[in-house]
């Protein structure tokens, strides 16, 4: 019988890799991932032994020592990572495999589309396989729906704000901001006045990704000026 955390991790990983391939998800470093258009989706599925609580949960089963299966489908605008890497001086990641958008340790957070925590009393392979398969089937539907609706950065912005509001309702104590994501939206839509306002208002003590917050925003100001000057020059060249 599977009891140790290492055994649970191995069991879940094997199931995720096998089931993910059935739904055309790629796997690397603990994540399933897929890119559709300008959107990057990833799935994280973790098995946690009883007594190891990842999140606050009032479910009495978790308090009785039940384990849990954590399943999350997240997504983001693909170009956010490339902008982030360029700003922090890690543009080498832009040419790395696509899996780096989930697993390199220096990437923008993705917004949660679907997330579950299922209490597990016995880590039985067939049961876990069913949970994972059902989740991947739901995820496939969500991915197709989302990618058909969010076809531009202008459409992504309100959806991002909606998902962020949902996240704060679900995790009211989370210390998460999306000012960097808004800043990237401003750059991609060439709304430099909005970008300037964000740079003025931003809380520089809040870290972005794995980079120091102050350093990121200092670099972001320089990057914004560089991009703005380049676009002004391009417009002049086109009009000349």
Average pLDDT over residues 16-26: 95
Contact 108, 81 (CB under 8 A): yes
Inter-CA distances, 14 with 35, 56, 81, 116, Å: 22, 27, 28, 20
Give the residue with greater pLDDT, 230 vs 35.
Answer: 35
Cα separation, 25 vs 81, whole angstroms: 20
What's the pLDDT at 215? 83
Percentage of the chain beyond pLDDT 70 is 85
Average pLDDT over residues 131-153: 97
Helix axes 125-149, 5-22, angle to 10 degrees: 50
Contact 47, 9 (CB under 8 A): yes
Mean pLDDT of the chain: 87
What's the pLDDT at 230? 79
User: How many whole angstroms from its chain centre is CA 38?
Assistant: 14
Average pLDDT over residues 224-238: 70
Contact 28, 97 (CB under 8 A): yes
pLDDT tens digits, one per residue of 62-119: 556 689 999 999 999 999 999 999 999 999 999 999 999 998 778 899 999 999 999 9
- Model's pTM, two decimal places? 0.87
Contact 59, 131 (CB under 8 A): no
Lowest model confidence (mean pLDDT) among 18-32, 178-192, 216-230: 216-230
Average pLDDT over residues 148-167: 97
* pLDDT band per the 50, 70, 90 thresholds, residue 238: very low
């Amino acid at each position: 019988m599977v009891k140790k955390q290492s055994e649970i991790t191995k069991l879940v990983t094997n199931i995720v890799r096998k089931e993910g391939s059935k739904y055309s998800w790629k796997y690397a470093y603990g994540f399933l991932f897929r890119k559709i258009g300008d959107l990057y989706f990833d799935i994280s599925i973790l098995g946690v032994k009883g007594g190891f609580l990842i999140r606050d949960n009032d479910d009495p089963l978790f308090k009785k020592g039940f384990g849990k299966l954590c399943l999350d489908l997240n997504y983001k605008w693909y170009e956010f990572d490339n902008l982030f890497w360029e700003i922090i001086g890690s543009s080498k990641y832009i040419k790395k495999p696509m899996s780096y958008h989930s697993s390199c340790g220096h990437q923008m957070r993705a917004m949660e589309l679907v997330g579950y925590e299922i209490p597990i009393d016995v880590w039985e392979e067939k049961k876990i396989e069913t949970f994972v398969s059902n989740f991947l089937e739901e995820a496939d539907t969500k991915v197709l729906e989302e990618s058909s609706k969010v076809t531009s950065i202008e459409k992504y912005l309100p959806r991002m704000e909606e998902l962020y509001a949902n996240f704060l309702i679900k995790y009211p104590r989370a210390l998460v901001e999306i000012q960097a994501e808004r800043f990237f939206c401003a750059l991609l839509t060439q709304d430099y006045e909005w970008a300037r306002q964000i740079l003025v208002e931003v809380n520089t003590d809040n870290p972005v990704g794995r980079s120091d917050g102050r350093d990121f925003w200092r670099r972001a100001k320089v990057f914004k000026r560089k991009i703005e000057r380049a676009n002004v020059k391009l417009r002049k060249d086109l009009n000349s």
